[in-house]
Structure 1
Amino acid sequence: MVTTLDDTKRMAIAQKLADMRAIQNLLISTEQKLISSAPDQDVRERLQNMLADDQKNLGVLETVLVQYGIQSEPHDTMKKFVEQAEQMMSGSELSFYQKLIQHELLKHGQVMSGIVVHKAAQVVGADIEVAIGPLNTVNFENRAHQEQLKGLLELVGVRELTGKDADQGLWARVQDAVAALSGVAGSVLTQNSDKQDMNIQTLIRLDHNKVNTLFTEVGTTKDPQKLQEYFGQIYKDLTAHAIAEEQVVYPKVRPFYGEGDTQELYDEQAEMKQMLDEIKSMSPADADAFRSKIKQLMEAVGDHIRQEESTMFAAIDKNCTDEQKEQMATEFKTAKAKIQEEMAASMK
């Protein structure tokens, strides 16, 4: 039988993503403090724009965590670091310039964490790359913020030392150009991603794309350890997805999608859950039999996906406003996160 549904590499990436969420919250808190003590309106406005980006990017990160499928807590050292940073940025020991330096370092660390997660995903599995795709938008904007902060540091630092404005030379213009280029790309991606994150069809389709990638990965290996790893993620992803749909989506679509069609979706997912438990009881060491059973699951899931993405999605578009689809997406994402946390707790 499958001995564990967890994989240490995937759990490590989950914790790194949880660290990034903690830092994103710290960035937001720090910017709020900096805005309240900004020395002039120009600095304040730039920081307010960063704050708006970071609040939006926190939503992107939350979506990535749910799509990734493994909920985790930040490292204990990260929790201590955040607590100390909050105290430092709230105190009066550092000047505004010194606090701005610390904020730029936080941005740099966040960019590097995003890059490391992407590189780790390339090593561990293609399904992870699918799940964390929206993270690129966060990296783009944090990179732009780094350049903007360098310009602010020149401005604020010279003012603190001399009481006068810095001469805006070639370097400042280069910084503005890099920040603008990164910011435009990041803003466009984030705006599109943020809009899509709030669309229930897009969230469901992201789940479908990820599980299809996992099925493809199963087909490329006969290694028992890799088969167990991939199936463990399939089991967790499909279970959380199915329960969240049954809690949030199906009850809402039943009135206009029809009793019979909606019940068919429930029945298909009941069959899918049974197949998942059957595979869980098998040994990945018998690779051919294990893969054969997963192929049967893939076919059943494929039929289910085709129904949802054709007739159910069309019914949602026809009968729901954009606001209703956004609300359904928010409830679906919240339900999935709670289910993932409960599953993780039950496996300890």
Structure 2
Amino acid sequence: MPSTTATRSTAVRKSSTKASPRTPDAVTLLRADHKKVSDLFDQFEKSRSTAKKRQLVAQICQELTVHAQVEEEIFYPEVQAALRDKELVPEAKVEHQSIKDLIAAVEGVEPYGEDYDAKVKVMSEWVKHHVKEEQNEMFPKAKKSKLDLVELGQRLQSRKDELLAQYPTSH
């Protein structure tokens, strides 16, 4: 009788080979999220319309909240275990908390005044710093690990879809 571990790894390998070509691996999925949020911040910087700023901030907050949640629930624990990491993941979690604090300061608030724009600007800078560390340090290490990034990507996408469905309108 095969051990549970052997059976599980065989199943994981089989599931990853049968994955739809449209399902991105975990790193590709997370990089796409990073790009989308970066583009939204760029649009905010260029906007002079209060209504447009309100809509962009709502979308930025939604994207960042969902992204952080799937990373914290699924990606980070897997990476931390695979890499036996005691530095990258804890630091990333602290960075997430700082970004969540800024989200709380601007989400649902009317976009008036210098303080509002400054909070969004600082959030953008912190997100850029966080993204740079993930993409230059964590993601390359995850790719070199034994993690099944396709299976992990499927789990991330599934959870992301669940979370996005909880929002009144998805952008």
What interval of TM-score do these two structures reach, taking the shorter chain for normalisation?
A: 0.7 to 0.9
Name the amino acid aligned to 2:122: Q
| Whole-angstrom CA distance in 1 between matches of 2:86 and 2:154 | 24
Q: Which has the larger radius of gyration?
A: 1
Q: Are 1:202 and 2:22 counterparts?
A: no
Name the amino acid aligned to 1:251: P
| Whole-angstrom CA distance in 2 between matches of 1:278 and 1:313 | 29
1:150-173: CA deviation from partner (whole Å, max 9, x where unpaired)? xxxxxxxxxxxxxxxxxxxxxxxx
Q: Are 1:217 and 2:43 counterparts?
A: yes
Moved over 3 A (4+): none
1:1-348 correspondence runs (5 A):
194=22, 197-255=23-81, 256=83, 258-280=85-107, 282-286=109-113, 288-320=114-146, 324-344=148-168
How far off is 1:259 after superposition?
1.9
Counterparts in 2 of 1:257 and 1:298: CA distance versus 1, 3 Å: farther
Aligned CA RMSD, in angstroms, stands at 1.9
| Whole-angstrom CA distance in 2 between matches of 1:261 and 1:273 | 18
| Whole-angstrom CA distance in 2 between matches of 1:292 and 1:250 | 29
Name the amino acid aligned to 1:264: E
| Whole-angstrom CA distance in 2 between matches of 1:222 and 1:330 | 38
In structure 2, runs of 5+ residues without a counterpart are 1-18
How many percent of aligned residue pairs carry the same amino acid? 23
How far off is 1:223 after superposition?
1.1
In structure 1, runs of 5+ residues without a counterpart are 1-55, 60-190
- Greater relative contact order structure (CA < 8 Å, 6+ sep): 2
How far off is 1:285 after superposition?
3.0
Name the amino acid aligned to 1:325: L
**TM-score (norm: length of structure 2):** 0.81
Secondary structure of the residue aligned to 2:167 is helix
How far off is 1:283 after superposition?
2.3
Name the amino acid aligned to 1:330: Q
How far off is 1:301 after superposition?
0.4
